[in-house]
A = this chain, B = another copy of it.
């Protein structure tokens, strides 16, 4: 059984709590929507952060909205080497025991004792997509991306929710390893 799925590259980004947003950007601050993302309700904001680790810093890191219950920074492994962090590969939101990182905004800075992760690659599926493909929520699948640098990604987490738009999310190390640019279709392999 094979099915195709849109593969989208996720650049490094942060999710922030309202409290950390106000520390970074000022009291009463609200994220401004720059562009809607493929997952309904999610958006790229106009706001940018600087992030710092023991070995280096990266400027102009995007913040994705809306605000969340925990602040986290999703980096590529390339980024973690620039920053000097030992960040684990995790699903978004699973920040317990992840790497410390400093966030710097125009109004202040936040020292996270944990929150820096490398996003575990995943596919978003609606229940009807999952049923058609024959996968269940949290199932580990593989996805092949063709081309002159064809790669099959294993250890891909399937996430199923009725509000999702079907898409696979990988970071730019993974995009580059597969020679992908822009949006392409991958083939789900069970």
Chain A residues proximal to chain B, CB less than 8 Å: 76-78, 89, 120-121, 142, 144, 147-155, 172-174, 176-179
A177 contacts B179, C-beta separation under 8 Å: no
- Residue in B closest to A189 when the chains form the complex, CB atoms: B152
- Residue in B closest to A173 when the chains form the complex, CB atoms: B176
A173 contacts B89, C-beta separation under 8 Å: no
The residues of B that contact A89 with a CB separation of less than 8 Å are 148-149, 179
CB distance from A153 to the nearest CB of B (A): 6
CA distance in complex: A149, B122 (Å): 11
CA distance in complex: A154, B146 (Å): 9
Residue A177 contacts which of B120, B148, B174 (CB distance < 8 angstroms)?
B174
| Further 18 A-B residue pairs, CB within 8 A, beyond A149-B155, A177-B177 | A76-B176, A77-B176, A77-B179, A78-B78, A78-B173, A78-B176, A89-B148, A120-B148, A147-B155, A150-B155, A151-B152, A151-B153, A151-B177, A152-B152, A173-B176, A173-B177, A174-B177, A176-B177
